[in-house]
Amino acid sequence: MPTPQELEAKLWAALRSDMTVMLGLANRPDHLLRPMTVQIDGEADQGPLWIFSAKDTALVEALSGSEDAFISFASKGHALFATIGGRLTLDNDRVVIDRLWNRFVAAWYEQGKGDPKLALLRFDVEEAEVWEDERSLLAGIKLLVGVDPKKDYANKTAKMKLD
């Protein structure tokens, strides 16, 4: 059974590897939930998460300063799931744009780093709830013999404050 610290480390590793999340605004009835690619700047397991977007998207247009936001995440293979809460801000820091710019990001912006539509979002992580999936041969055998699966899952989830 993993500790909250181990689950947190698995979350950061999965975010670095998989990068695709659903990002939404917390205080809107429609949430403006959108698929986005996150990047982590540096080697440390901490935020902020950075997201390249466009100024003319509904999500960016809805931002007024810093907004409560959330991320829904499922790793490839569904070994890990998470909801992450934090603050989302438009932050077109040229130094960060230069540092995070790569060919995958460049493909979205016809005029490169100087594209007038370019928007860099900063997601400051505050808290997360993480679930580790228990899909395995052992889990299947336990189900076949009548073992309650909820007991296994109870030890594979954690709520944590992140900073």
CATH 2.30.110.10 fits 4-161, yes or no: yes
In DSSP terms, 20 is beta-bridged to 37
pLDDT of the residue at 3: 81
pLDDT of residue 146: 57
> What are the pLDDT digits (tens) for 124-146?
999 999 988 765 444 444 444 55
Question: Is 117:90 a contact under the CB 8 Å cutoff?
Answer: no
**pTM of the entire predicted model:** 0.82
- In the DSSP assignment, the letter for residue 151 is H
Predicted local confidence at residue 157, as pLDDT: 56
Q: Is 90 exceeded by the pLDDT of residue 7?
A: no
Question: What pLDDT, on the 0 to 100 scale, is given for residue 105?
Answer: 96
Q: Does residue 13 surpass a pLDDT of 70?
A: yes
Domain boundaries, the chain: 4-161
C-alpha to C-alpha distance for 122 and 96, rounded to whole angstroms: 10
Is the model more confident about 140 or about 102? Answer: 102
Percent share of the chain, pLDDT over 90: 61
Predicted pLDDT at 27: 85
Q: Say which residue, 147 or 14, is predicted with more confidence.
A: 14
- Residue-wise pLDDT for 51-85, tens only, equals 999 999 999 999 988 999 999 999 988 889 999 99
Which residues are bridge partners to 24 per DSSP? 70
On whether the CB atoms of residues 37 and 20 are closer than 8 A, the answer is: yes
pLDDT number for residue 160: 55
